[in-house]
Amino acid sequence: MIQTKTYENGLRLVVKKMEGLLSVTMGILVGTGACAETENEDGISHFIEHMQFKGTQKRNAFEISDAFDRLGAQVNAFTGKDITCYYSKCTSEHTSACFDLLADLFLNSTFPEEEMDREKGVVCEEISMNEDTPEDLCLDLLATAFYGKENYGRNILGTAKNVKGFSVADIKRYKKARYCPENIVISFAGGVDFAQVEALVSAWFSNLSAGDFEKRVPKVQFTRQSLVKTKPIEQMHLAIAYKALPRGSEKEEVVTALNSILGGSMSARLFQEVREKRGLAYSVYSYNSCYQECGSINVYAGVNAEHLQDAYGAITDVITDMKKNGITEDEFSRSREQMKASMLFSGESTNTQMLLYGKSLLYYNEVFDFDKKLEKINTITRGQAMEVLAQLFDENQKALAVVGNTDKPLSF
């Protein structure tokens, strides 16, 4: 059973009751992230996510984590390009106590100066760790090559220089502009009662004032660059992005199927050709990345330095062949079954369901229709896939990135 409510201040609530479960996952989703930041704010969404856990008017940082632990609850948060989410999972009997803690850290964080100084060091270490993780670094570089240095091209972590300079005033200014009720969705999934949840949310959030929200629409520019990041490491990391369809497109399921055929599994073309047949990479895969205004299909491979050009050529060969000769009915059927299985598996996870229904309300202002989604997957055809395939993998709308011991970018 799915129930929703929209409050007078614009806040939205969605509850997915999952019969027979004794646990619940709750999340507070905010429609903001790296794509909404200015140059001076670069990294602030992620830094705020960290600081929300560092003390409220009632509890210090230790007391927050200790209180969740005493309930046997899990708590965490993440920041994306266009979303920030604070979430917790607990047994159903502790729903009220757990939400009180989550709401307190979300609404009443005080951002103590000593914690600010400490957490700046922590985030700067995270930035350094990202620099030492070539795969992540390569995909971040690919986003910049594809979108430029602004909006969706921003690194979620920001720069160490920016992080060190953030003040409490900067945090409060950004939160006032973006952490507004009309830009927030609260989502519950699991063994939970709507009346109980609605009373909790009303008590904490109904008086949250509306009216200060700054709607920031990213101006998307495809920059079509080939970038390189020189790192003294053994392996080469390469990535390719092709322009695809935005989130919510009528052909979204078809693009997902095509990506699955290309590089979404061990039986996919990239894995079989680049790794199994040619032995050019240990890790090679593709994924679909969609936002409100734009989207891309991205390919990544980690290869030996001497095989960089061969691997790039092999990936290009696979894509060219797929574009020229199409896909088989067997491939399409297999990818569709994988999509259906993934959907059904997700229906058994409170974490996944919380995000699924929360994001649908946040992004589309619609209640996610599980059965309708399954029906869409069931009714897409190979013919539709061939039509969409003809529109994808345009060599004039792609970007390249390389991380490794070289200063030479890949050529288009």
* Mean pLDDT for the chain overall: 96
**CA separation for the pair 78, 46 (Å, rounded):** 8
> Which residues partner with 302 through β-bridges?
237, 283
Question: What would the pLDDT profile of 219-277 be if each residue is shown by its tens digit?
Answer: 898 999 999 999 999 999 999 999 999 999 999 999 999 999 999 999 999 999 999 99
CB 106 within 8 A of CB 59: no
pLDDT tens digits, 292-343: 999 999 999 999 999 999 999 999 999 999 999 999 999 999 999 999 999 9
| Same fold flag, 2-205 and 226-404 | yes
Pick the CATH number of 226-404 from 3.40.50.1170, 3.10.105.10, 3.30.830.10, 3.90.226.10: 3.30.830.10
Instruction: Give residue 107's pLDDT.
Output: 97
The pLDDT assigned to 191 comes to 97
CA distance 186 to 24: 13
Whether the CB-CB separation of 46 and 378 falls below 8 Å is answered with no
Return the structure tokens found at 7: 């409050």
CATH topology assigned to domain 2-205? Cytochrome Bc1 Complex; Chain A, domain 1 (3.30.830)
Active site residue 49: yes
Q: Which residue type, as a one-letter code, is found at position 169?
A: A
Give the pLDDT of residue 38: 95
* Confidence label for 212 from pLDDT (cuts 50, 70 and 90): confident
**Per-residue pLDDT at 263:** 97
Distance between CA atoms of 349 and 249, rounded to whole angstroms?
A: 25
Beta bridge partners of 404: 230
Domain ranges of the chain: 2-205, 226-404
pLDDT reported for residue 197: 96
Q: What is the pLDDT of residue 371?
A: 93
Selected catalytic residue, list 49, 119, 150, 331: 49
Kindly tell me if the per-residue pLDDT of 211 is higher than 80.
Answer: no
- Given this model, what pLDDT does residue 283 score? 96
